[in-house]
Amino acid sequence: VVNIYSFEERKLMYKLNTCFSTSEYRIALSNNEKYFVTCGWEKRKIELYNIEDGKLIWVNKNINHIHKIKFSIDDKILYIQTEKYLYILDSSNGEIINKESGDIEIYLSDYDEYISKIVKKQYEVYKGSKLINTRPLEEFATLDIVFSKEYLYSAEVGGCLRCLNLTKDEEIWRYKPEVEWHFIDLGYNSDLSCIYGRLIRYYRNDNEWLYRFDGKTGQILDSIEMTKRTALFNINAQNKVILIENRCYNLAEELSADKYEVLDFIKIY
């Protein structure tokens, strides 16, 4: 079941029974905020819905074992990452445009046409179809990548949170967490005053932490402890508002007990 809330009106708009399978990476919102797409793991199904009224627009029944699904910056393409393939779909009708084989991870920029692919243990950064930079991974896999107009922020398994020049072979800064701790769910404000990430420890009962860094220098701004298995996601991608439990934080401001709004209309368990 997918619940659709109106943040402006502070209310639940509707609920939908979809093919969604548990993972925040198997649901995606279009950048124009008109559509959302869901998919599953075992179910051979991808569904695109109109957000305003919950109307089902199309269904693709040709792909399963999906890890991630994402819209392109112009919303014309859907990228589908599975165990063995990277699929490219036409978002208007769900038809498959292309399929690449191999262990490929893909990350999209919020700006222009930048795309990063993780292929054979290295970053490949493209602008459109043109390869503009490559760099090897320090660890065996990535957990998350986000872009600004100038920088690529990368979190690797058991490794550092790093800020790299997007087009040159240059590292700007890095932050090394303690052993067994990893960063996931990276994001940033458009002016780079803040890059944030969730710090977790796999297979342990430790609580998680939300950290904020200065995006240009890597200096820690602040952090806040989160209870185990707390949901964390963007409510408003423009203002970088984050929901932790039922507390709403603006990431442009300090993460403190008196800097959040309690959202009684959204309940996360």
CB-CB contact of 213 with 196 (8 Å): yes
Tell me the per-residue pLDDT of 238-253, one tens digit each, with 9 for 90 and over: 567 777 777 788 887 8
3-state helix, strand, coil in the chain (%, to 5): 0, 55, 45
Beta bridge pairs of residue 251: none
- Say if strands 241-244 and 130-136 run parallel, antiparallel, or are unpaired: unpaired
Tens digit of pLDDT for each residue in 147-202? 888 888 999 887 789 999 988 889 999 999 988 889 988 888 877 888 988 888 87
29 has pLDDT over 60: yes
Identify the residue whose tokens are 């401001």: 253
Instruction: Tell me which residue of 21, 24, 27 sits closest to 41, measured CA to CA.
Output: 21
Structure tokens at 254: 């300090």
Strand partners, 8: none
Give the three-state DSSP class for 201.
strand
The pair phi, psi for residue 26, each rounded to 5°, is -105, 20
The rounded distance, in Å, linking the Cα atoms of 96 and 214 is 40
Task: Reply yes or no on whether the pLDDT at 257 is more than 80.
Answer: no
Rounded to 5 degrees, what angle do the CA atoms 150, 141, 235 make? 55
Which 8-state DSSP code applies to residue 146? E
- Kindly report the pTM of this predicted structure: 0.81
